[in-house]
Amino acid sequence: MAIKSKLITSLLLGFSTLALLIHTSNAGGIAVYWGQASNEETLIKTCESGRYKYVIIAFLNKFGNGQTPELNLASHCNPAGGGCQVASNGIKACQKKGIKVLLSIGGGIGKYTLTSTADAKKVADYLWNNFLGGKSNSRPLGDAVLDGIDFDIELGNTQHYDDLAKALKAHSTKVLLSAAPQCPFPDRFVGEALKAVTFDYVWIQFYNNAPCQYNADTGSVKNLLDSWAEWNRKLKAKKIFMGLPAAKKAAGSGYIPPSVLKEKVLPIIKKSPKYGGIMLWNKFYDLQNKYSHAILKSV
């Protein structure tokens, strides 16, 4: 009986330790932006790699203020005349693997703005009918139904993105919403939207922002982790991701060597209940640098 008692005690201790590890360290996934380089592989190959849980198609970079919205996928395809509808098969293939596929609106280059609540609703209706669960004769990416919309707003007016988020969720609560704010809190473009609606995924750009990114000169992660902690305290999103450049050339600053990320950063940020994983900009640079391959088992 004593031996059995010790065995039971050992088993209970083992289960308790496992439960503690699960509670204090959350498994995450890798999100990647795709669409801004023709030599970054197709959507199908991107998802067949097994390294990504989320693929963000970038960008719809013209919309609002009465403009006819336009898609820009670099040299992957020409959206004029339905030339990008071939992407539909790739989207469906990714989704069959359980990978969420979203369309990113905005970006660092483009012509977009929202001028009013009514304007935001018109854009939401367009996105719903042309990329999500609605119907249109001119769906730029074909008949595939995307999982959601990503807000990568970096230009134009800072207002009415909260109205856009609300209008998209009004079409269907199943529409996933994500955002890519800059790491200084709060983000001036999507800060109000993030307050108004609980976004499903927020991949914060911890790069090109010296006050809240990794310091390559000193090797310090303090500012990075302090900013991460602030976002976790103040943001009500379901999942928060650390957005990083996939190679040194992918951003002006903020690149973190995979070894530093695995040793000094991931063990800390994975303790957050809101931790969702790592976002990488972008697929082209990840293909060149194999960043996702280096961190996959640690994320």
Q: Degrees (nearest 5) of the Cα angle 100, 270, 267? A: 135
In 10 A of CB 258, how many CB atoms? Answer: 18
Distance CA(179)–CA(278), nearest Å, equals 13
Using CA atoms of 200, 37, 293, 96 in order, give the dihedral in degrees to the nearest 10: 50
Which helix H or strand E contains 293, and what residues bound it? helix 291-295
Distance CA(202)–CA(186), nearest Å, equals 13
Distance CA(111)–CA(67), nearest Å, equals 9
Distance CA(77)–CA(14), nearest Å, equals 54
Which residue of the set 40, 41, 154, 263 is catalytic?
154
Known catalytic residue at 192: no
Q: Which two tokens stand for residue 176?
A: 């996933």
Distance CA(218)–CA(204), nearest Å, equals 22
Distance CA(134)–CA(102), nearest Å, equals 15
Q: Which two tokens stand for residue 3?
A: 């031996």
Catalytic residues: 154
